[in-house]
Amino acid sequence: MSPETVRLIVGVLFVLLVLSFVGSIVYGRKVVRTEVTDAVFGNPVRALGGWYWVITGVCSILLLWFYFSWDAARAYFPNSANEMCQVARVDSELNALRSSFPMQSRLLRSTSFLDREGTQIENARRQISKSDIDPALRDQYLAAADTVQAMLLTRASAESLSAENKTAIDELARKIDEATARLADPAFPGPATEAEIKAAAEQPAWGEGVKKEIPDIPNTDRGRKFLKISEEMSAITADFTKIRNLDDDFIAEVKSLSDELKGLQTSGDDAEETKTLTKSLDKILKRIDDGNIFPPAALDPIENAMKRFNAEQSEQKGSLKILDALAFPGGEIRAGSTACTEQGSGRWLPKPSDTLTSLIEISDPTVGFKTVPLLWYEWKPASEMLAFFIPDWVADLVPGEYPRHTASGVIDANLKTKVLNFATGNYPSFSIPVPAGHLWDSIMRVLAGLFLGIVLGVPLGLFMGLSRFAKGFFDPLIELYRPVPPLAWAPLILTIFGINDDGKIFLLFMVAFAIMVISARTGATGTQLSKIHAAHSLGASNRQIIRKVILPNSLPEILTGIRIAIGVCWGTLVAAEMLAGTTGIGFIENVARKQSNYEIIWVTIILLGLLGLLFDLIMRWIINRTIPWRGKG
């Protein structure tokens, strides 16, 4: 699907969602008003029905998703992101300049430097006073600290600013004003060139291509204007960072003081301490040497020019400001060195349309994920299928010996060979289609683990509910392993059984087994004695009582246990697949995580949720069908 089609679908869908959201609320309120409601609070009947509130809930989730992932913004304002990208470039170029003034930061940069270095010098003084070096030496250090402070303070005096710096500052302010004028000029930068138009048209659209980032070649006049200004601002910022409040005298002074400090270092007992003291004062000196502290009003021309520029930039952004606030919630578009990127929820919350596209992409059996389809079928020889159920050792049971090759190198097959071939599926046969793929693998693992858990757990649970020996003997075994989180077992089990299906199925079996044992046991112990008495006096044998009375009587607990076990197995499986393996939905998520492919991660999350819900619905249906008497006995 082309990006345009996707945008169109998203756009229509968004409107439909808003309409159903509003519609269902209106309908719901109408129903509330017309309904003859029971005035008794706490009556559970009040919670029955209300499909319209389901619609409201689903719509609001989807709307939030569309909105905060900026899918709606992409559908309705695909060009605005491109324009905002250009604005972001201006902002990114001006970052250094603006943070020198109370625009992006609270304090003027010189002010905060002075403040910080003052504190540093104070700390150094304290360090010197506390040190147990020779008192004379200590005095010398204190004197040096005083000098450093004095030098720091000279930078704040108006005289420190050199004439060249004054002109450079005025020159820069003028350049900024010129840029501001161009920004305000409706004719700037003139019509786009053929090349520019072509480049803009050929770039991938927003959400298209591998990186799915925002197209960064401007395709509107406003965008081109901001791009041009950002280039200008890049030069201005470079010039600005070159202006340093330094002169030769000052540099020489710093140098000599630094030398003096090095001279104070002694080599005797105080060697270590003097070294640190010199270092801490020297560090402050090095920073003063950067010339970042200016007299209070020295940079005013630039600051004022910047204020005018900011006002004009805001003016020129115009409708973009509102768009930015309304259509791009929870983040902003930021210009990096190479591309413009979404930041905030637009980045980490995958867009519904991208998620669906990813899902459709990997649902294609010829593509799949890592060459394995999501859910498809493959042709397998029927012999292999059959061999799966026949253990190979049946061949060993056949009397006789396996054949040896003769001197001429011929191997004569005997009955044993034939049975072995049959057991291993090593004979020609027709092929049958069998389901395959990541989802199928995951589901089969859960079902296999669950099946084993039920088949072994239910009888043991019933036995434990009926026999003191069984309860006493097995209780400690089960109660000791059950509270351990399944994932704590995973490394051990995957080592023993291998990373293929065996290990995972065994892990799931362990999880399901404990749950099934406990629920079957609860069911068995909960059988009313009178029912068992009745069955006895109707002539039932012990076996019949277990099969015809205790088992059906425990069905509610057993089915509830299965329902819980499915949920827990599902969760455990995904975690186990993340640890090891090459197929399964957890494997997909793990690979996607390593690739930072948020769309695929989101796809797996949604698939997991939907499949879990499906399992639960099936279980609920089975429960309603098989034990309708529950709660009515």
Minimum CB distance to another protein smaller for 540 or for 575: 540
Helices (H), 131-162: 135-154
Going from the C-alpha of 261 to that of each of 129, 281, 344, 440, the distances in angstroms are: 16, 8, 49, 74
Per-residue buried b or exposed e for 169-196, using 16+ beta carbons within 10 Å of the residue's own CB: beebbebbbebbebbeeeeeeeebeeeb
Question: Toward another protein, which CB reaches closer, 408 or 542?
Answer: 542
DSSP assignment of 71-120 equals HHHHHH-HHHHHHHHHHHHHHHHTHHHHTTTTTTSSS-HHHHHHHHHHHH
| One-letter amino acid for residue 459 of the chain | P
Considering the complex, state which of residue 419 and residue 555 has its C-beta at the smaller distance from another protein.
Answer: 555
Read off the tokens for 199: 């480049």
d(Cα 486, Cα 505) in Å, to the nearest integer? Answer: 12
610: tokens are 């939907």
CA distance 188 to 180: 11
Residue whose pair of structure tokens reads 């005035």 in the numeric block: 39
Minimum gap (Å) between residue 391 Cβ and another protein: 36
Residue among 409 and 539 whose Cβ is closer to another protein: 539
If the CB atoms of residues 390 and 555 are measured against another protein, the closer one turns out to be 555
CB of 624 to another protein, least distance (A): 13
Q: State in angstroms the smallest separation of the CB of 564 from another protein.
A: 21
Q: Is the peptide bond before 352 cis (omega within 30 degrees of 0)?
A: no
Q: Which is nearer to another protein, 168 or 532 (CB)?
A: 532
Residue 614, H or E segment:
helix 598-626
- To another protein, the closest distance from the beta carbon of 515 in angstroms equals 22
Give the residue with the Cβ less far from another protein, 338 or 530: 530
Query: Are 78 and 214 spatial neighbours (Cβ–Cβ below 8 Å)?
Result: no
Burial 505-530 (b: 16+ CB within 10 A, else e): bbbbbbbbbbbbbbbbbbbbbebeee
Strands (DSSP E) contained in 363-407 are 376-381
CA distance linking residue 375 with residue 17, whole number of Å = 30
- Min CB(547)–another protein separation in Å: 11
Which C-beta is closer to another protein: that of 350 or that of 523?
Answer: 523
Report the residue number, 99 or 541, with the smaller CB distance to another protein.
541
- 436 touches 378 (CB < 8 A): yes
Q: How far is CA 606 from the centre of its chain?
A: 14
474: phi then psi, degrees, rounded to nearest 5: -90, -20
Residue 540 or residue 605: which is nearer to another protein going by CB? 540
Nearer to another protein by Cβ, of 406 and 530: the residue is: 530
CB of 538 to another protein, least distance (A): 4
- Tokens 């080592």 belong to which residue? 495
Closest CA to 213 of 52, 371, 3: 3
Q: Closest by alpha carbon to 147, among 331, 299, 313, 281?
A: 281
* Least distance (Å) between residue 541 CB and another protein: 7
Q: Least separation, in Å, of the C-beta of 553 and another protein?
A: 7
CB 536 to another protein: min, Å: 4
CA–CA separation, 360 and 607 (whole Å): 12
Positions in the binding site for another protein (CB under 8 A): 528, 530-531, 533-541, 544, 548-549, 552-553, 555, 627-629, 632-633
Nearer to another protein, 42 or 633 (CB): 633
Work out how close the CB of 557 gets to another protein at its nearest, in angstroms, rounded to a whole number.
13
Smallest separation (angstroms) from another protein to the CB of 516: 19
Query: How many residues belong to the chain?
Result: 633
3-state secondary structure of 437: coil
Please tell me whether residue 67 adopts helix, strand or coil conformation.
helix
Residues 6+ apart with CB under 8 A from 339: 211, 213, 214, 216
Q: How far is the CB of 453 from another protein (least distance, A)?
A: 23
- Which residues does 599 contact at the CB level (< 8 Å), separation at least 6? 350, 351, 354, 355, 357, 358
Nearest distance, CB of residue 450 and another protein, angstroms = 23
Amino acid at 20: S
Question: Which one, 33 or 632, has the nearer CB to another protein?
Answer: 632
Q: Which residues of 444-455 are buried (b: 16+ CB within 10 A; e: fewer)?
A: ebbebbbebbbe
Identify which of residues 428 and 628 has a Cβ nearer to another protein in the complex. 628
Going from the C-alpha of 151 to that of each of 115, 155, 227, the distances in angstroms are 14, 7, 42
Tokens 């138009």 belong to: 197
CB of 352 to another protein, least distance (A): 46
User: Residue 51 or residue 621: which is nearer to another protein going by CB?
Assistant: 621
Nearest distance in Å: CB 552, another protein: 4
**d(Cα 228, Cα 103) in Å, to the nearest integer?**
23
At residue 616's C-alpha, the angle toward residues 610 and 619, to 5°, is 145
**Minimum CB separation from another protein for residue 470, in Å?**
22
